Structure 1
Amino acid sequence: MVQESGTTPSGGPDVASDGPDVTPDATPDGQPLREPDIRRHELAGFLRSRRERILPEQVGLPRGIRRRTPGLRREEVAQLSAVGVTWYTWLEQARPIQVSAQVLDALSRALLLDRSERAHLFALAGAVDPAPGTPCATITPAVRSMLERLEPFPACVQNSRYDILAYNRTYALMMRDMDALAPEDRNCIWLAFTDAQWQASLMNPRETKRTLVARFRSDMAEHLAEPPWKALLARLRNASPEFREIWERHEVIGNTTRSKRFVNARVGTLNVVHTNLWLGPTAGSRLVSYVPEDEETRARLEKLLTLKTLEARQPAAL
């Protein structure tokens, strides 16, 4: 656990309340706030707002039944960032403590900040970002338009953890009904080991699982300390003995363009070429497309798109 050096408040209680903290206009003796004070209060408010927007499921934590605060609790952010609960509470209360670039980096990852938010966090803290090019996982309108234009070819956007961030209508039905899944379950590795429908679509499930785990292990080497990666690994290990067994082999493999075969319950066998197109740095998000290898597969993908389009036009069941 990281312990911060520098000035810490004396006599402050070990508070971990999630209640709102009021930003004052002046010091207790009526003096206007100085620039460092203003920065601390801005930083505190920014951290609170980012914490409150994150669902526990997004970072691999259980929601529980007695959660009264929106988003994450302070102690959960502290846990994900490997800092003390009291120290993080002081940070949200704008107390005069120093924050290292290492801890800001951990906080930005725990709070799932995009590139602009990360830059804002470091600016408020008056620190230099050691990794200013950290990719942003935002799905822009242009990327969504690209996904639509690729139809009837199945396509999706995945991050380096194999979370499925967006997809087009053909992809929505290629392996299983993606729309029926909770967002936190839209992960290729998770589905390959825990979802019966997804597994049934795989022509060679054992080899597919082995390849996925080998790629995941290879990619995770650059993200070993990041909370979302650790949370996904823990979730997979807890849910699947098969995943645990393959993981312990320590196999690694890189990304390649390759042919794949899927069995779709509605239209039959699909022979496609899997291609990755990175949307930024190679450690970031990528557009994954599946191009048909033959005319029969192309016709089946067109049929799948038609089925999804007709489905979308059906009125919701009362």
Structure 2
Amino acid sequence: MSDVARRAGVSRATASYVLNRTPGARIPEQTRARVLEAAEQLRYVPHVNARSLRRGRSDLVVGHVDGASVLRQGLSFVGLIQVARDIREAGYTFLFHGDPTVTGVAAARSWLALRPAAVLATLDRYTEESVAMITAAGTVPIAMSHTPSDLTPTIVLDDGPLGRAAAEHLLGRGCRRIVALGGCPGMADQHMLGHRMAEAVAAARAGGAEARQVPFSPGREAATGLVGSWLAEGTLPDGVVGATTTHAAHVLTALVDAGVRVPQDVAVLAADDEPLAELVRPRLTTVGADLDVGEARMGAAVLAAIDGRWDPDLAVRRFPARMVVRETA
């Protein structure tokens, strides 16, 4: 720090204000640029322990967002980078932590070993015991889920509009026997995808249709068996909503293989929009969403929780739904 100040021709305090992004510090832009240039020339790296002592806590925010959780939550990697940027601009360091094998107390121990100021993870990673452990250590636990939770401050990722839009599209086509395909009971994707499927069923029933949610783990054999049972039992629906493009694509393929006409006999669509939708035949109708909407709010919500300013009403992110009509519905 002293070397940077000397090269920039400023006081050590001024260099500290610039390099630590001290809120409220009034530094002329020319001076700020000179300090940053000196830091770059000297390859200055902040001392993490010193910054932690100055703050009275770590400046690290751990984001437990392994790839599977990210996809199931409907997050975009670009959005998470935006969150990390917002947190970094506030003077913190955002660390991605992606071990998919830990949850509960085991996860808490793993996170706390890093001494973070806060942890951001999907709700299924937390338990009452782990939240108590994290809080007792002075770290702020923050969850992400599709519905609010009393367990810990939760950023709500409301993907219900995707399910509702899918059901309403099928109702508009005249479908009256609608099946919503979600995840398998007891598995993480059921927790993540269940909200949008529950909303699809509720919207279908509100529109006068018979609707039910069917657990389904995407796979060729599972899809073939499901369609075979519908045909054998005479329970073939006239509308199918897949929680994801993968869910819908497997059932679509099984229907076509069984000689069922799509969309004449059964309309099929997915409550998300992945590139796979353009690759299957017939091309799959989907519900798209703007995943970048509200990312800045997520960053602000994390910072508010760290600063003790948590407001649940400001921690809700809704996905605007838009139909992408192709050939299956």
Global fold match (TM > 0.5):
no
TM-score by length of 1: 0.25
Larger strand share, 1 or 2: 2
TM-score by length of 2: 0.25
